[in-house]
């Protein structure tokens, strides 16, 4: 079937889908799994993929990439016009926006900082910071906003430690991140980006003069040796510190929200805290922090799911949809913190698999674990229908998550939990 058979056409800008896009994705997967959409604003053609196999295929295909300079000028032109409005275009020279060989070169420089050994060393620090933030929530009284008080500050504090940035600078970093992620004003976003660039330049120069044992020192030494340019270095630090933390923020927020929506699963986690790692994986699958991968470009005519996507069109692998594909996940709309196996694509797949996945998992487990231990009777302080979700499908999470911080456990009744959200 074609996209026109859908009774309710898919509009990526429609706010009504943000709180719960999954029913729509189920219909798309059944009736139009490779869905052609023409942007009314730019006229560009986007192809949305909702089947697990098609999403995985697109993320592995070398003819589907991220760099416009790999397209002929006439095919790249409409994309360049659209991207010229990006207020942070000067900070896009990082692994998130590059293809091999540049992607491979930069990722190889950064990978040791996110390996198993480094993350294991950071674990005690992450646990301590998460515990301190949760204690701060308790000190504030009987209510708190999980996003503001825990999910947002934790990644900045942890990645700043990894980079070796001064503790006293972290309020400035948080301010830039808030402007970039939450202001919605292109002028303010660009100003924050330029201020961050100036700050990063100063810190890099300091590391080149007085290197330490941190990641920024290693990257500064790689720049000295010609392995990475200054712009690539600044862009990579920006991606780690300000842009990349939104994934962890949404993972923590969405994970806690699903536990509160499914109280029997919350009780199960309390009874078996060793399930915290499995719970994080299920949160990534069931209602993950990223709606779709960064839009990709068809660098040649590519056949996916029986449909030929023309060269120059945009390919959008929808991770949220793939992770509820019944062909891969039995009872996909059931939130099960003990699910195994769980081959979700919440962190992407292939060459662009999230570089900081292990660190994001560690932070989510520390934050949710500390919260559940500290407040056995935690509950939502608002009706779930009143939550404000991110306005764009790319990042999927709530802006605020007000909680009642009860230290006594609330008994779980016999009410059946919803299979669907």
Question: In terms of residues, how long is the chain?
Answer: 421
CB contact set of 239 (below 8 Å; sequence gap of 6+): 91, 94, 95, 96
Residue with tokens 């999230």: 354
Is cis: bond before 101, omega within 30 of 0?
yes
Contact 54, 33 (CB under 8 A): yes
**Using only C-alpha atoms, what is the Rg of the chain?**
21
User: b/e per residue, 311-350, with b = 16+ CB within 10 A?
Assistant: ebbbbbbbbbbbbbbeebbeebebbbbebeebebbbbbbe
Neighbours of 373 (CB within 10 A): 12
Nearest-CA neighbor of 248 among 330, 126, 128, 101?
Answer: 126
Nearest-CA neighbor of 127 among 344, 368, 331?
Answer: 368
Contact 421, 20 (CB under 8 A): yes
> The whole model's pTM is what?
0.91
DSSP 318: -
Q: How far is the C-alpha of 105 from the C-alpha of 68, rounded, in Å?
A: 19
Q: Helix, strand, or coil here: 288?
A: coil
pLDDT of the residue at 276: 98
pLDDT of the residue at 417: 54
pLDDT of the residue at 8: 52
Q: How far is the C-alpha of 6 from the C-alpha of 25, rounded, in Å?
A: 11
Phi, psi of 109 (to 5 degrees): -70, -35
Low-confidence ranges of the chain (pLDDT < 70): 1-10, 12-13, 243-244, 407-421
Contact 134, 202 (CB under 8 A): no
How are beta strands 34-38 and 45-49 bridged, if at all? antiparallel
Contact 138, 151 (CB under 8 A): no
Nearest-CA neighbor of 36 among 13, 55, 9, 18?
Answer: 9
Full DSSP string of 329-377:
SSSTTS--TT-SS----TT--GGGS-TTHHHHHHHHHHHHHHHHHH-TT
CB contact set of 190 (below 8 Å; sequence gap of 6+): 87, 88
Contact 412, 376 (CB under 8 A): no
Q: How far is the C-alpha of 191 from the C-alpha of 70, rounded, in Å?
A: 30
Nearest-CA neighbor of 259 among 287, 231, 239?
Answer: 287
With the C-alpha atoms ordered 163, 168, 171, 172, is the resulting torsion angle positive or negative?
negative
Q: What is the pLDDT of residues 112-167, one digit of tens each?
A: 888 888 888 889 999 999 999 999 998 877 899 999 999 999 998 999 989 999 98
pLDDT of the residue at 212: 93
Which helix or strand (DSSP H or E) is residue 203 part of?
Answer: helix 186-209
Nearest-CA neighbor of 380 among 360, 404, 355?
Answer: 404
Alpha-carbon distance values, 261 to 58, 64, 363 (Å): 33, 37, 21
């Amino acid at each position: 079937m074609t996209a026109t058979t859908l009774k309710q056409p898919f509009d990526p800008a429609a706010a009504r889908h943000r709180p719960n896009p999954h029913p729509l994705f189920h219909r798309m997967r059944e009736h139009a799994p490779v869905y052609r959409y023409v942007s009314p604003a730019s006229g560009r053609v986007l192809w949305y993929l909702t089947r697990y196999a098609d999403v995985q295929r697109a993320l592995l295909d070398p003819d589907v990439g991220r760099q416009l300079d790999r397209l002929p000028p006439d095919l790249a032109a409409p994309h360049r016009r659209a991207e010229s409005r990006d207020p942070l275009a000067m900070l896009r020279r990082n692994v998130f926006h590059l293809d091999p060989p540049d992607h491979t070169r930069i990722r190889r420089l950064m990978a040791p900082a996110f390996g198993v050994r480094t993350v294991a060393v950071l674990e005690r620090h992450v646990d301590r910071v998460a515990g301190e933030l949760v204690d701060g929530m308790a000190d504030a009284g009987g209510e708190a906003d999980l996003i503001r008080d825990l999910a947002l500050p934790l990644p900045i504090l942890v990645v700043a430690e990894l980079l070796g940035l001064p503790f006293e600078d972290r309020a400035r970093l948080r301010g830039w991140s808030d402007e970039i992620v939450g202001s919605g004003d292109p002028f303010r976003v660009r100003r924050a980006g330029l201020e961050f660039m100036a700050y990063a330049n100063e810190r890099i120069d300091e590391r080149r003069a007085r290197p330490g044992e941190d990641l920024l020192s290693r990257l500064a030494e790689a720049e000295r040796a010609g392995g990475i340019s200054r712009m690539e270095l600044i862009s990579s630090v920006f991606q780690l510190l300000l842009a990349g933390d939104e994934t962890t923020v949404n993972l923590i927020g969405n994970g806690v929200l699903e536990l509160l929506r499914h109280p029997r699963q919350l009780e199960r986690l309390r009874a078996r805290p060793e399930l915290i790692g499995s719970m994080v994986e299920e949160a990534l699958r069931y209602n993950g922090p990223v709606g779709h991968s960064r839009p990709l470009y068809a660098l040649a005519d590519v056949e996916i799911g029986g449909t030929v996507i023309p060269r120059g069109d945009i390919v959008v692998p929808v991770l949220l949809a793939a992770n509820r594909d019944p062909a891969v996940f039995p009872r996909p709309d059931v939130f099960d913190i003990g699910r195994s196996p769980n081959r979700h694509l919440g962190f992407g797949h292939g060459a662009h698999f999230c570089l900081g996945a292990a660190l994001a998992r560690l932070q989510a487990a520390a934050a949710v674990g500390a919260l559940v231990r500290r407040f056995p009777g935690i509950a939502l302080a608002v009706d779930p229908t009143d939550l404000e979700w991110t306005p764009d499908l790319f990042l999927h999470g709530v802006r605020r998550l007000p909680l009642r911080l009860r230290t006594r456990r609330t008994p779980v009744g016999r009410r059946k939990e919803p299979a669907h959200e």
